[in-house]
Structure 1
Amino acid sequence: MDRKLHYCYPDYNTSCAKVVRKYEEYVMLYIFSVFVIIVTLCGNIFVIISISHFKQLHTPTNLLVLSLAAVDFLLGLFVMPFHFAAYIEYCWYFGEFMCYYFFLMYLFLTSASVSNLVFISVDRYLAVCNPFFYTSNVTIFRTMLCIAIGWLSALSYTLSYLNSDGSTILTGCAGACGFDFLPAWGMADFLCTFVLPFSVISCFYFRIFIVARRHARAINLFLQKKPPAQLNSKTSLKSETKAARTLGIVVAVFMICWFPQLVLAAYFLYTPVPDRYISTILSGLTLISLINSGINPVIYAFFYPWFQQCMKLIVSRKIFSPGSSVINLFSESSH
């Protein structure tokens, strides 16, 4: 591909160099970027409105889904536009303050995503593996408290990371925006935000599916000797297991999208590679990881009948009708 070397700010002696893409490439990348951002914002706002408006969805599990959707929406609003523009233009045109703000929001929201996924795995573990404890102890208030703790912990961690010794926002030449940190901090971040939480999540989900299969076999044998009146326990288990499977897909997609970027970033901490090479590869992988924020609503649309019903009600503006918040979103088949 034939590209000429130019500068981000041609009139500045301190301008960073940039690579000029072909016109068609610019058009395709900007169209793709706008599409991803719109899908992310619209999809997650549907989730937020649905769970907030319909009282039938006010459950501890859905509050965690709401929190995750809020994180994804904020990523689409405050992180994606800046990162897409910087990746396409090879330059940062938003100033030094916005550079710091970008990394603050990026690190904070991705950390909050991980905390939400951990809480979701704990929630599903208790619902499937210890249902009596779940019913009596997992409440709306306690779930909201966990969500608040997760968000505050993510913010505290991010501020400590950004302001620690050796952490610096790089704006050496006009048009640059980078984040430099000590290798020890980078490895600690990799362990704390990926290896440890996703090891815990994987253990929970492994246990969930073993227990779910065991319960399903036991209930099927039990129901063969009992009348249909005993069907409620089977329906409840199927509902909890289906929720665990759907949210497990959300976790798996997150890991697939983020794993290459995080592993490569950890590898480059101790491997001397030219700066432009590192920047190009990591920026591309970061784009893939950010696209994950727009995938979650698509997963809900495929696997949650209640979400499909909510979308119809929102698009048709029936949510503005009196009493719409208490509409029954479930049928026997949807459980």
Structure 2
Amino acid sequence: MVEDQLLCNESAGLHGQTVTSYALNVFVVTLSLLIVCGNVLVIISVIYFKQLHTPTNFLILSLAVTDLLVGALVLPFSAILSMRSCGFSSYLLCKMRGLFDVLLCASSILNLCCISIDRYYAVCHPLTYSSKMNVHVTLAMILVSWTLSALLAISITGRGITHGNLNRRCGIFIATKESSPGPIFEFYIPAIIILTIYLKILMVAKRQARRIQNTIKSRTALSKMEKKASITLTVVLGVFLMCWTPFFLSIGLYSMGKFTIPHVAIEAFKWLGWSNSVLNPLVYAFFYKWFRRAFQMIISGKIFQADFSSTKL
């Protein structure tokens, strides 16, 4: 999933200092800054404010750390390597970039999967939620997510370094038969899990809303609850699928060899997938008023004026 190494040519090192490359640099810097700033706000909020020290927010913290590293490491290295000339040092950097790419993107998606599981127990089993989804369980889920991501990254990028690879240019994606199992474990299985869980949550939320209607005879309350649940789950699923489905679908078709898909199109889909890291803070944090209050206090510098860690948000 990480890199398709194209053959180099002698002018490759001089290529790239064009209007297109400068536009790419501006885009990468802007996207990286947005990812870093958005996720730094989430990280500081969860660590600083005691009210946010909950199992759910620890999962959001893990997701924010993952997305932060995507913006700080993967995107800048991808832009630099796409314009560097070939050589042994470039090949090593390409491998390192590929390793972090798979590790962090897989971890981001698996963290989303863990958050969906947490929301499932919160909505569908509220009476047993606190016992089933405690801090220890949450930390175990985070550890499993990072471990599986690391194993997947090593299995895909852990190939031997040979001199034959030095005449190839570092690209953004890899699409071979050897790498085909990667997207299955990295995207398709987590996507199916997330989709199934959120559909279940939506069904339970509607049933709960109908019970409220039968109890208090309030169609207004029913309408508001169903609308809020529908909008929230639609945004969660929509953003996730919109960002990652085009890339993994195009990679699958490309690997089959039955469809001709331009490399530039697949690379564009890859950048769209990376942009999910800047949207996650909006989806999983800005939906909650206590995060919005925390962000306001951080941006205004209020937390540096006194100890507000115990403030009720």
TM-score, length basis structure 2: 0.83
C-alpha spacing 1:154/1:134, structure 2 compared with 1 (3 Å): same
1:146-165 aligned within 5 A = 146-163=141-158
Question: Which residue pairs with 1:303 in the alignment?
Answer: 287
Q: Which amino acid aligns with 1:173?
A: N
Secondary structure of residue in 2 paired with 1:191: helix
Q: Which amino acid aligns with 2:26?
A: I
C-alpha spacing 1:124/1:170, structure 2 compared with 1 (3 Å): farther
Which one scores higher on RCO, CA 8 angstroms, separation ≥ 6? 2
Is residue 167 of structure 2 the alignment partner of residue 173 of structure 1?
A: yes
Question: Which residue pairs with 1:136 in the alignment?
Answer: 131
CA apart distance, 1:136: 2.3
Question: Which residue pairs with 2:118 in the alignment?
Answer: 123
C-alpha spacing 1:181/1:282, structure 2 compared with 1 (3 Å): closer
C-alpha spacing 1:207/1:156, structure 2 compared with 1 (3 Å): same
Task: Report if the CA contact (8 A) 1:100-1:169 is conserved.
Answer: no
Task: Report if the CA contact (8 A) 2:297-2:303 is conserved.
Answer: yes
Give the alignment's Cα RMSD to 1 decimal: 3.3
The C-alpha deviation readout for 1:271-312, integer Å capped at 9, x for no partner, is 1788xx753232222111111111122335642222221111
Task: Report if the CA contact (8 A) 1:8-1:16 is conserved.
Answer: yes
C-alpha spacing 1:125/1:178, structure 2 compared with 1 (3 Å): closer
Equivalent in 243, 250, 256 of residue 242 of structure 2: 256
If you compute each CA radius of gyration, which structure gives the higher value, 1 or 2?
1
Is residue 199 of structure 2 the alignment partner of residue 199 of structure 1?
A: no
1:1-335 aligned within 5 A = 16=12, 20=16, 22-23=18-19, 25-87=20-82, 89=83, 95-163=90-158, 171-173=165-167, 175-176=169-170, 182-183=176-177, 185-223=178-216, 246=232, 249-271=235-257, 278-300=262-284, 302-329=286-313
The C-alpha deviation readout for 1:83-124, integer Å capped at 9, x for no partner, is 23345x375686222111100000111111121111111111
Task: Report if the CA contact (8 A) 1:75-1:106 is conserved.
Answer: yes
The C-alpha deviation readout for 1:202-256, integer Å capped at 9, x for no partner, is 111111001001101212432459xxxxxxxx9xxx6xx9689647634431221
Task: Report if the CA contact (8 A) 2:175-2:251 is conserved.
Answer: no
The C-alpha deviation readout for 1:142-165, integer Å capped at 9, x for no partner, is 101110111112112221222369
Q: Could you tell me how far apart the structure 2 residues matched to 1:66 and 1:21 are?
A: 38
Gaps spanning 5+ residues in structure 2: where?
A: 1-6
Task: Report if the CA contact (8 A) 1:170-1:180 is conserved.
Answer: no
Q: Could you tell me how far apart the structure 1 residues matched to 2:240 and 2:33 are?
A: 19
Q: What percentage of aligned pairs have identical amino acids? A: 31
